[in-house]
Structure 1
Amino acid sequence: MSTTNKILMILTSQATMGDDPRPTGVWFEELSTPYYAFIDAGAQVEIASIAGGKIPIDPHSLESEGKNPPSVERFLKDASAMQKIESSIKISDLSIADYSAVFLPGGHGTMWDLPKSTELASLLSTAWAAGKVISAVCHGPAGLVNAKDVNGQPLVADRRVAAFTNSEEEAAGLTEQVPFLLETRIRELGANYESGPDFQTFAVRDGKLVTGQNPASSEEVARLVLEAVREAQ
């Protein structure tokens, strides 16, 4: 892949479970695994967020040094990568025209600020109309719920979409904490929702829309994103 390809990762800025003070944020592996899949394929990767600045990381997605997934360990030791999440770009300060693809990592924080962001909805709608690859994993598809296609219909309508399942949310014990159930909302928007076994790798690609079910799906989503970007060249 040419280094002229730039991929934009848009992360949550939400550090708590809504009004509940329990900490949340980005699920680290859903950031780090795709990040290095893109970097190692020769793409440039920039990191933005809803509010800009420091990205909140879900503490449940971090273990002590040496016990994390390899991509997380690599990210933590990568000064350039860490700087990107210390001072992320505010989405209102960028132009989607500069990028080949957009990727939305998950983490429960996304359930609060991504759906509420009119700037994100506009950016994704513009990106889709311009033929960019749009992708998300786990709770990241929460950022797609207000994006529209060129006909003004929900972007996910009549398209194959994967996202964190209701049963996975129940297993996580957070059904009552999240503002809505992501699987339910995606279905309500008319998507052809698909899923695999809970917490196992599952990702789908519908043209330039790529989505994955859970943290275990991050690597496969990244692979499908790269595939879609190559085909679009």
Structure 2
Amino acid sequence: MTESLAEIYKKYFEIYPQVDEAPEQLAEVYRLRFQVYCVENPFEDSSHHPDGLEKDPFDDCSIHSLLVHRQTSLTAGTVRLVLPSEDNPALALPINQLCREPLLNDLNLLPRSTLAEVSRFAVSKNFRRRLGEASSPSGVSTEWHEAQAREQGRKIPHLCLGLIQALVGNSYKYGVTHWSAVMEPALLRMLKRVGIHFINSGPLIEYHGWRQPCYAELAPMLSQVKLERPDVWELITDDGRYGQ
């Protein structure tokens, strides 16, 4: 019997959707972010993080996820979901510090109390180098798209999908219905290729390179994934555990 995409992925990676109460794993999150955002790509000033842990004020209201390579136990990737403030739903998300698009304040489109932000999407350079993707913090580059054009598929599904699974699971756990994000265009193209569609919420902005402000409504997004790529849907919903 042919293995499913989800089965193949689980052979290679362990997904830890929430490590906030696990100090050692949470420190791994911050260490990887320092490596990716301060060393490999000097987007953040390393002198502001002398302990080698990249943090910011939004971490206190975020759910942090970790991806670990099973065979080596090495940290492969991380992402956080910045939740709306329970005490102050009007508190701005990171995207509001970068964008002033009116759409972001349309409460009918993006209900503030259930809107969270996908942020600090990072993949270890050790894995990105192996896959020819070392030029991008998210592990998705022009080289990745060119490889996809040459091949019908890849034996190992892209690392990012495990982080998406963590985001989906945490969203259902915490009642999040919509995501906002500021993403690399290459990452958005990769996600679209596997059926995960975000909607642009404004023009490209210059922020550590060109980035696309965007959003997604979770339920219809997952329905579209199931229609276009049921194998990917099975993986990111943990075999249908989320998104019913």
Q: Report the TM-score when normalising by structure 1.
A: 0.31
Q: Report the TM-score when normalising by structure 2.
A: 0.30
